[in-house]
Amino acid sequence: MYLFTYASVGYTRFMENFDIAIIGAGVVGSAIARELSKTTARVVVFEQHADVAFGISGRNSGVVHSGIHYKPGSLRARLDVAGNAGMEKLCRDLYVPFERLGKLTVAFDQSQTMELERLKEQGDANGVPGLDLLESSQMRTLQPGIAGIKALHSPTTGIVNPMMLTIALAEHAYQNGVSWKFLHTVESITTENHNSFIIGCSTLDGFRSYKASIVVNCAALHANKIAAMTAFNEHTVYPCRGEYYVLDKRLKDELNILVYPVPSAHSGGLGIHLTKTTEGNILIGPSNEYIDDPDDESSTRPVMEILKNEGNELLPSLQTSDFIRSFAGIRPKLTPPEKGGYSDFVITSQPDLPNIIHLLGIESPGLTSAPAIAEMVTGLIDNRLPLKLKREWKPSFHDNDELYRRAYPASHYPLAERQEMIEANPDFGSIICRCEEISKAEIVSAIKRMFGPITIIGIKNRSRISTGRCQGGFCIPRIVSILHNEFGIQSKDIWLKGPDSPLFEGTLRQSGGYHDT
Amino acid sequence: MTPDAILDVLVIGAGPAGMAAASAAFEHGARTVLLVERDNRLGGILFQCIHNGFGLYRYREELTGPEYAELDIERLASSQVIIQSETFAVDIVRDDALLRVLLIQRGKADWVCTKSVVLAMGCRERTAGAISLPGPRPSGIYTAGSAQRLMNIQNIKIGTRAVIVGSGDIGMIMARRMTLEGSSIAAVTEIMPHPGGLARNIHQCLHDFDIPLYLSTGISNVYGRHRVEGIRIAPVGADGTLEDARGRDIECDTILLSVGLIPENELSRKAHVMLDPRTQGAMVDARCMTSIPGVFACGNVLHVHDVADFVSEEGSLAGKSAAIWSQKPIIPRISVPVSCGQDIRYTVPQKINEPGDIVISLRVLKPRPSCRIIVKQGNRVLAKKSFIRLQSSEMVRIPVTIESIESVEVVCETT
């Protein structure tokens, strides 16, 4: 539910007016918002969901790609390599977990070996540092037991927590003055003149209109719907689903480095493979399936079977109880199913309305590229509306409260550090999520940090609650109590991910019930 | 207790197993017994089990979960067991002959040193991920035990119309509970051809309330992007896969999962306790000692029980053994396996190493019509027990007297 009522302040009297409106609060929209927060421009972000990273940005492998797979000179090559280079510092500045694990792209036969050599040349041309072709013995020192005859080692490949990256970018932008409008679905964009637009949104409180001089469309799966509102119909977005399985952290040491097969030329993905999250869960996936409905994030029985079999083949020590969760994300592809493969990102001012900038087909490596995309889009905006840096921009988070902002949960750190945290705030010793050992202090902090509606998934993305092997069976009832006791939120008002997904119907009796945390 | 004091017995978890273990340890001469519990009250899961059916074997009367817990709490109160609630045990290491356990609680995180540890952490529920529940991820999907806590302790109405996936005991008990609270239960489904829970629960929770139970039925889809709107159930075909074409849709706003329990052995793994893949609990001898000297296990963390009374009995045994160990640690020289013959899924204990009266707990692999369970050493029959019908969900307990340390074999014969 909403803790704040900021969204309804004064809208009846005048139409809120912004310089720049960003549509879509994924990692790209959030990165652009943060980049623009450095300037004096008045920026707003419209998001149909209740939080950032509720679409594809929160549903992917979290891999920071090195840049070997993209055609030299393409946007994907340039933006990926630039994004990768800056990721470590960005993540350090914003307390986001990032690890440069490196990656092996493995060849199993002679024809694939030739493809590896081509990938290396392409990577070198793209400026990917440190690429090396390894023989099988060298491969095995990096990942014991690995099959294959040759591999391309890309040491700059990394992993990031994509939800936390998006949240950190957005939150930093928020602290630096960007306005966020959640549960705002953009329904219409009308042109007042070439540099003034009225953006109509459906919201919980009915239809609302806002004014902006520049519109940035980074609505991913819905970007062509937004583009159609200003009659920009040159591209079609084809939803392509990727399903994953999440494995128990017990297996985290089974994978030291990311291992990918050589991609086949026509597939629109990099093949089902194992990756690891920054928290140590191995992911199996993603599958690659064109679908009609851009919002159908279903896991499907046939694909789950494939993923399970794949996992059992790649990880012999896998047990049935290690499969803890499945999920799906949907790529916004510009290549139709009959063609497959990839096309380059489209990032462009609309020719007849140059104050509207469209970002289309930002699929992989969109996560890696996001910071570089933000800089590029800021440049495009600056051409239309000269931007001025603001002096009061703060390069790091500035909180009034004592908030927990470290990259990993408190349980990740040595006991002495943990004891210091407990000393400062005893609630660091109250464990609420047993599987991930997340404390009450971290959960309360995550809730206080939320600058939009409070949702369970939002708390989860910020604190890692319920991501472990019991999937919330233990902590969700206790988090319900924290929301009740510390924030005064009644059970009927708790949302899983938005107003249409209430956790409960209400209470059984008018009063009573024991909320201990 | 001073910080550097060495405990005789540390019991982890104050459910029925841990409470019985702590009391028994004290009653058998352990001087310093510490019982740690992660919740803020004792009783573990008993507290949310407000239905009756507890205590029939132990007290010969029918109690509710909280009443049953209360008797153990009183017994603890009359002892000098030290109780520390809202405390998580997060790590165990061996330190020469002693054990060190990292305890975290509000305001404090520190190691304690102990001569013995009783693992009594219970079990957790299998989740949607574990059974590959397909579909999107709407709200309204809960494990039956979480739903039980939300309803019975936190006064929460979860939904109006539910389908219960899996016929475990908690699922069936929740079917009755939700019906009594005015929600309707459209169906209980079970992927196996036989029910997962006790026969008494099928009668008292489903039949008595006209709730249909569909056996050999799986879930082929879940509907609803935001909140659950329905579920598609489908029969299991001859090849073991779901026949979606023969399925049907049921409207509901809630799905409860009662699809099995997993012993909660993450802490045991940290202590390098050897686990039995069949029970997913520790391998123990007849006094409940694990592969790590001084570490004992009992209750649902050892193997999932069907009746709380036997959890308590096992807890008492583990507590007593830990107390004896803390006074006189003896590792027997020879240990021989208890092996499972055809159709026996597992036994606890998995090994024996000293003579005495013991109870062998076991489950059969699949439901059996008329049969006999025989415990023997070589050709010598130690015990036998006949059944008119035996469910694979039902735990069988057979008392035997061990006189010589020779391999024991348990077999199931059709009669």
Question: Does residue A418 sit at the B interface (CB-CB below 8 Å)?
Answer: yes
Count of positions (residues) in chain A: 517
B285 and B253 housed in the same domain: no
Beta bridge pairs of residue B221: B232
Query: What percentage of chain A carries pLDDT values higher than 90?
Result: 84
- Structure tokens given for B186: 């459209």
In what helix (H) or strand (E) does residue A461 lie, and over which residues does it extend?
A: helix A456-463
- Angle between the A162-175 and A27-36 helix axes, to the nearest 10 degrees? 30
**What's the rounded Cα separation, in Å, for the pair A209 and A226?**
15
For the stretch A128-137, pLDDT in tens is 999 999 999 9
Query: Kindly report the CA angle at A201 between A197 and A205, in degrees rounded to 5?
Result: 140
A:431-470 residues touching chain B, CB 8 A cutoff: 431, 434-435, 437, 469-470
Q: What per-residue confidence (pLDDT) applies to A317?
A: 81
Please tell me the distance in Å from B182's CA to the nearest CA on chain A: 9
Helix/strand/coil percentages in chain A, nearest 5? 35, 25, 40
Which candidate, A367, A330, A329, A361, places its Cα nearest to that of A343?
Answer: A361
Query: What SS3 state is found at B137?
Result: coil
Q: Residue A268: pLDDT above 70?
A: no
Q: Does one domain contain both B356 and B409? A: yes
How far is A451 from A45, CA to CA, in rounded Å? 13
Q: Is the pLDDT of residue A281 over 80?
A: yes
Nearest CA in chain B to A511: B155
Q: Tell whether A401 lies on the interface with B, counting CB pairs under 8 A.
A: no
Residues of A in contact with B267 (CB under 8 A): none
Mutation choice for A interface testing from B41, B143, B155 by most A CBs within 10 A: B155
Chain B interface, best mutation among A250, A252, A298, by max B CB count within 10 A: A298
Question: Rounded distance, CA A466 to CA A471, Å?
Answer: 5
- Give the per-residue pLDDT at B135: 95
Residue finishing a domain among B243, B259, B275:
B259
Please, are residues A232 and A191 in contact by the beta-carbon 8 Å criterion?
no
User: Between B161 and A341, where is the model more confident?
Assistant: B161
Question: What number is the average pLDDT over the span A253-268?
Answer: 79
DSSP-derived 3-state class of residue B188: strand
* Candidate list A65, A69, A172, A358, residue with the active-site label: A65
**pLDDT, tens only, A385-411:** 999 999 999 999 998 788 999 999 999
Q: Is A295 on the interface with B (CB under 8 A)?
A: yes
Query: What are the backbone angles phi and psi of residue B19, rounded to the nearest 5°?
Result: -65, -45
Which residues, at least 6 apart from B153, have a Cβ–Cβ distance to it below 8 Å?
A: A477, A513, A514, B47, B48
Residues B193 and B156 in one domain: yes
Q: Do A508 and B269 touch (CB under 8 A)?
A: no
Known catalytic residue at A65:
yes
| Of residues B125, B134, B139, nearest to A301 (C-beta) | B134
Interface touch B102/A426, C-beta < 8 Å: no
**Planar angle of CA A272, A123, A257, nearest 5 degrees:** 45
The pLDDT score that the predictor gives to residue A12 is: 47
Question: CB distance B154–A513 less than 8 Å?
Answer: yes
Residue A2 has pLDDT above 90, yes or no: no
State how far the alpha carbon of A98 is from the alpha carbons of A51, A149, A284, in Å: 22, 30, 19
Integer angstrom CA distances of residue B44 from B35, B63, B311: 12, 16, 12
Say if residues B121 and B35 touch (Cβ distance below 8 Å).
no
Rg value, chain B, Cα: 22
Whichever domain contains B23, its CATH number is 3.50.50.60
* Shared-domain flag, residues B96 and B171: no
B72/B338 Cα distance (integer angstroms): 32
What distance in Å separates residue B317's CA from the closest CA in chain A? Answer: 27
Mean pLDDT per block of 10 residues along chain B (415 residues) reads 78 98 98 96 96 96 98 97 97 93 96 98 93 94 97 96 96 97 97 91 96 97 97 95 95 97 94 96 98 97 96 98 96 93 95 96 93 95 94 92 95 92
Q: Inter-chain contact A508–B157, Cβ cutoff 8 Å?
A: yes
Q: Is A37 helix (H, G, I), strand (E, B) or coil?
A: coil
Q: Is A509 on the interface with B (CB under 8 A)?
A: yes
Number of domains in chain B: 3
Q: Say yes or no: B169 and B289 in one domain.
A: no
Cβ proximity of A513 and B158 under 8 Å: no
Query: Angle, nearest 10°, between helix axes B65-77 and B308-327?
Result: 20
> Residue B353 is part of a domain; what is its CATH number?
2.60.40
pLDDT tens readout for residues A218-236: 999 999 999 999 999 999 9
Task: Report which residue type is found at B286.
Answer: A
Q: Checking DSSP bridges between strand A63-64 and strand B108-119, what pairing results, if any?
A: unpaired
What does the pLDDT read at residue A1? 56
In the predicted structure, residue A30 carries a pLDDT above the cut 50: yes
Q: Where are the alpha helices (DSSP H) in A341-413?
A: 366-384
User: A interface mutation test: which of B124, B152, B178, B233 has the most A CBs within 10 A?
Assistant: B124
Distance of CA B112 to CAs A24, B38, B88, B116, B326, Å? Answer: 51, 16, 12, 11, 15
Domain boundary residue, one of B238, B259, B280 = B259
What's the confidence (pLDDT) of residue A237?
97
Give the closest of B127, B149, B158 to A504, CB-based: B158
**Interface A-B: count of C-beta contacts within 8 A:** 163
Helices (H) and strands (E) in chain B, counts: 7, 30
d(C-alpha B395, C-alpha B362), whole Å:
6
Q: Considering only residues 144 to 163 of chain A, which have any Cβ-Cβ distance to chain B shorter than 8 Å?
A: none
Quick check: B157 and A418 CB within 8 A? no
Residue A427 sits at the chain B interface (C-beta within 8 Å): yes
CB contact under 8 Å between B150 and A480, yes or no, is yes
Range of lowest pLDDT (A199-203, A428-432, B205-209, B330-334): B330-334
* CA angle in degrees (0–180, nearest 5) for A449-A452-A457: 80
pLDDT of res. A514: 81
Nearest chain B alpha carbon to A482:
B154
Distance between CA atoms of residues B387 and B409, nearest Å: 19
B139 and A427 within 8 Å at the Cβ level: the answer is no
- Interface probe for B, chosen from A503, A509, A515 (most Cβ of B below 10 Å), is A503
**Nearest CA-CA distance, residue B378 and chain A, Å:** 34
Last residue of a domain, one of B216, B234, B259: B259
Tell me which chain B residues have a C-beta less than 8 angstroms from the C-beta of A411: 90
A374: helix, strand or coil: helix
Alpha helix stretches (DSSP H) within B189-328? 199-201, 266-270, 308-327
Interface ipTM above 0.90? yes
Q: Does A412 touch chain B (CB under 8 A)?
A: no
pLDDT value at position A271? 64
Minimal Cα–Cα distance from A174 to chain B, Å?
A: 27
Together in a domain, B243 and B359: no
Question: Which of A504, A515, A516, A517 would you mutate first to test chain B, the one with the most B CBs within 10 A?
Answer: A504
- Which residue range is the domain that position B179 belongs to? 127-259
Q: Would the CB atoms of B104 and A470 count as touching at under 8 Å?
A: no
Distance of CA A297 to the CA centre of its chain: 15
pLDDT score recorded for residue A267? 57
CB within 8 Å: A415 and B102: yes
Per-residue pLDDT band for A310 (boundaries 50, 70, 90) equals confident
A209 in Cβ contact with A318 (< 8 Å): no
Tell me which chain B residues have a C-beta less than 8 angstroms from the C-beta of A296: 136
> Residue A515: which pLDDT band, with cuts at 50, 70 and 90?
confident
Cβ contact, residue pair B132, A298, below 8 Å: no
Domains and CATH numbers, chain A: 6-56+163-232+343-384 (3.50.50.60), 99-159+237-331 (3.30.9.10), 410-493 (1.10.10)
Q: Which of A236, A231, A190, A214 is nearest to A360 (CA)?
A: A236
B353 with B400, same domain? yes
B150/A308 touch (CB, cutoff 8 Å), yes or no: no
Pairwise CA distance, residues A206 & A185, whole Å: 11
- For residues B336 and B299, membership in a common domain is answered with no
Query: Within the 200-259 window of chain A, which residues sit less than 8 Å (CB to CB) from chain B?
Result: 245-246, 250
Under an 8 A CB cutoff, do A473 and B160 touch? no
Contact between chains at B90 and A437 (C-beta distance less than 8 A): yes
Whether B146 sits inside 8 A of A477 (CB atoms) is yes
* Residues B251 and B267 placed together within one structural domain of the fold: no
